[in-house]
Each structure stands twice: as structure tokens, then as C-alpha cells.
């Protein structure tokens, strides 16, 4: 991929040099808001316009990258918080499952006692 990118930039540079060579002897007038610049070399105008466009694009791209990195960091924080919550819920579920197993064992024990004596064990309300 780096090789393709390198060839791309070399091609862009070659096209710019060719374009500069074709327009080397030409001069233009520039009206920029209230200022007038006369007899400016066209190569200079093209070079400065290209440079300004590249710099502006780089600044915009940098801002987008920073925004996306901040967004990704927010997602990572949220994922960490949710993972902690999941762990808490798993521990609660384990505790409930252990309690359920204990209750099932007690119930099975009561059932075996009932089966062996033939009558139901007395509860506290009957005593």
C-alpha cells in the first residue's frame, strides 16, 4: 500500500511540475476582496493555491480524526462501565443461584423426611 501511495504522490508532483512548466511565462491579476495584485506569476498563484488547499484539507482532516478519537475514547469508557455492571450482575446471579440451590436442597430434605415419617413436618405456625 505504501508503494502505491508513494507512486501516487510522485505522479501528483510530476503533473504539478509539468503544469508549472507550461505556465511559467504567464502573469495574472488577482482581485482579492478589496485588494488588487497585478502582474503575478501564474506558477506562484497555482503553487500557493495548491499549498493552501493541502493545508486546509490537513487541518480539517486532523480535526475529524481528533473528534473520532474522542468519540472512540467515550465508547471505551462506556464499554468498561458496562463490563463492570455485567460483572456485578453476574455475581448477584451467582448468589441467587446458590441460594436457589440451598432452597432446593432444603426442600428435597423436607420431602425425604416427609416420605420417611409419613406425615408432614410441623411448621412454626402449627407449634
User: What is the count of structural domains for the chain?
Assistant: 1
Q: Is residue 5 part of a domain?
A: no
Q: Is residue 11 part of a domain?
A: no
Residue 73 lies in domain: 26-110
pLDDT for res 65: 96
Q: Is residue 117 part of a domain?
A: no
pLDDT tens-digit series, residues 14-69: 988 888 888 888 888 988 888 898 998 888 888 888 899 999 999 999 999 999 99
Q: Is residue 95 part of a domain?
A: yes
- Position 125 confidence tier, pLDDT thresholds 50, 70, 90: low
Q: Is residue 30 part of a domain?
A: yes
User: Helix-strand-coil percent breakdown of the chain, rounded to 5?
Assistant: 75, 10, 15
Among 38, 21, 19, 22, which residue's Cα sits nearest to residue 30? 38
- Position 124 confidence tier, pLDDT thresholds 50, 70, 90: low
Q: Is residue 19 part of a domain?
A: no
Q: Is residue 73 part of a domain?
A: yes
Amino acid at each position: 500500500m505504501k508503494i502505491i501511495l508513494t507512486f501516487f504522490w510522485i505522479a501528483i508532483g510530476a503533473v504539478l511540475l509539468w503544469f508549472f512548466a507550461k505556465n511559467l511565462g504567464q502573469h495574472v491579476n488577482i482581485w482579492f476582496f478589496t485588494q488588487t495584485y497585478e502582474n503575478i506569476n501564474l506558477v506562484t498563484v497555482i503553487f500557493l493555491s495548491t499549498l493552501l488547499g493541502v493545508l486546509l484539507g490537513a487541518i480539517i482532516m486532523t480535526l475529524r480524526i481528533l473528534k473520532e478519537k474522542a468519540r472512540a475514547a467515550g465508547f471505551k469508557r462506556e464499554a468498561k462501565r458496562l463490563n463492570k455492571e455485567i460483572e456485578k450482575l453476574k455475581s448477584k446471579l451467582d448468589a441467587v443461584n446458590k441460594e436457589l440451590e440451598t432452597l432446593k436442597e432444603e426442600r428435597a430434605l423436607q420431602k425425604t423426611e416427609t416420605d420417611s415419617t409419613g406425615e408432614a413436618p410441623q411448621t412454626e405456625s402449627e407449634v
